Chain A
Amino acid sequence: MAEIRRFSKSQVAIHALGAFSILVLYITGLPITFPDQIGWIPALLGGYPVTMLIHRIAAVGFIMAGVYLVVYHGLYDIFIGRSYFTDVWIKTKDIKDAVNDGKHILRLSADKPPRYGKYSWIAKAEFWSFFGEAAIFLVTGSILWFSWQSLVFMPPQYLLTARYIHAAFAVVSVCGIAFHSYMVHFNPENFRIDRCIFTGSMPEEEVKEKYPQWHEDLQRGDNIDAE
């Protein structure tokens, strides 16, 4: 069966580094917000100072993944003209797809479900929500990490606000990860694991079934491989 390339090596690497870092960030960060419920994690890791150290090491990994994503793909987009960002950019079709999907799920429409391109509106929404959350984590996390230096520029209550925003978005982000986990692991279509993000390719039959618009584009030769 023919395999179609979906992700480049750099995309696979960014996903691996970013995902591993953010999962470690959750494990070490959530006990600080919910010490009564999951205080056993820092106890297991050797106390809060060790937990915070691991949290900061993971944060460096996460920042590296983010910087690499923005710089490499951003430059690729500017100089080559097509990158991952070109593919995930939200278009009018995605909004129409979301509305039609909603109608289809609620059985308000007898039409066929939308024909997805390379990335569905769900994948794009997931990407941009994580991207936005990552930017918020970067700003608020930096304020908290360098709290003494931050006090030179801002009053102490801003630090407390940054802490609340950091924690609140962590909870929102975990909920996003729970949804992502459901889609790539527990969804019957992909159960046990969707291997595409690791191998970078998927069988043509699967592309035809899940992403018919992308398959058509490929057949027409419209879709150039984006880095």
Chain B
Amino acid sequence: MKIYREAIILMQNKIRYSGAIVVAIIYLSFIAAVLKIENPAVAVFVIIGINIALLFVIVNIGALLYGIITRNRRETD
């Protein structure tokens, strides 16, 4: 449990900018997809970006269900 908490705190510190960068990648990939830029490197970037966006959505469903299921549970820390 202690290791788990330490890992969470470590992630909390690291996530500050990485979360924003991931959101920026999603935005740029959608812009590139809508503009239909025909470049193999951009195509790979778009595939990665849109799949990350979908992953974001799936993570959100998980978070939503987790929040609903544990709504009566109090945070211990």
Contact string, A160-185, partner B, CB cutoff 8 A, digits 1/0?
A: 00000000100100110111011001
Most buried by A among B18, B68, B70: B68
Contact among B8, B19, B46, B70 with A182 in the assembled complex (CB-CB below 8 Å): B19
Contact among B57, B60, B67 with A197 in the assembled complex (CB-CB below 8 Å): B67
Among A20-28, A62-70, A84-92, A214-222, the stretch in contact with B: A20-28
Residue B20 at the chain A interface, CB threshold 8 Å: yes
Among A120-128, A130-138, A187-195, the stretch in contact with B: A187-195
Among A34-42, A74-82, A105-113, A147-155, the stretch in contact with B: A34-42
Which chain B residues border A179 with CB–CB below 8 Å?
23
A182 with B23, Cβ < 8 A, contacts A23-B61, A191-B15 known: yes
A199 touches B66 (CB 8 A): no
B26 touches A175 (CB 8 A): yes
B27 touches A193 (CB 8 A): no
Residue A16 at the chain B interface, CB threshold 8 Å: yes
Nearest CB in chain B to that of A23: its residue: B61
Residue B12 at the chain A interface, CB threshold 8 Å: yes
Assembly CA distance A20 to B67 (angstroms):
12
Residue A52 at the chain B interface, CB threshold 8 Å: no
Assembly CA distance A26 to B54 (angstroms):
8
B16 touches A30 (CB 8 A): no
B57 touches A37 (CB 8 A): no
Contact among B57, B66, B71 with A26 in the assembled complex (CB-CB below 8 Å): B57
B64 touches A19 (CB 8 A): yes
Assembly CA distance A15 to B63 (angstroms):
13
Interface of B, helix, strand, loop or mixed by DSSP = helix
B71 touches A199 (CB 8 A): yes
Which chain A residues border B11 with CB–CB below 8 Å?
191
Nearest CB in chain A to that of B9: its residue: A191
Assembly CA distance A41 to B54 (angstroms):
10
Assembly CA distance A195 to B64 (angstroms):
10
B50 touches A38 (CB 8 A): yes
Residue A145 at the chain B interface, CB threshold 8 Å: no
Residue B37 at the chain A interface, CB threshold 8 Å: no
Nearest CB in chain B to that of A174: its residue: B53
Contact among B12, B54, B75 with A188 in the assembled complex (CB-CB below 8 Å): B12
Which chain A residues border B59 with CB–CB below 8 Å?
181, 185
A30 with B54, Cβ < 8 A, contacts A37-B46, A177-B60 known: yes
Nearest CB in chain A to that of B46: its residue: A37
10 additional A-B pairs beyond A27-B58, A37-B46, beta carbons within 8 Å, are A23-B60, A26-B54, A27-B57, A30-B54, A37-B51, A175-B27, A178-B53, A181-B60, A198-B70, A199-B71
Query: Could you list 17 examples of A-B contacts with CB < 8 Å?
Result: A12-B71, A23-B64, A27-B57, A27-B58, A34-B50, A37-B47, A37-B51, A174-B53, A174-B57, A177-B56, A177-B57, A181-B23, A182-B23, A186-B15, A195-B71, A195-B75, A199-B72
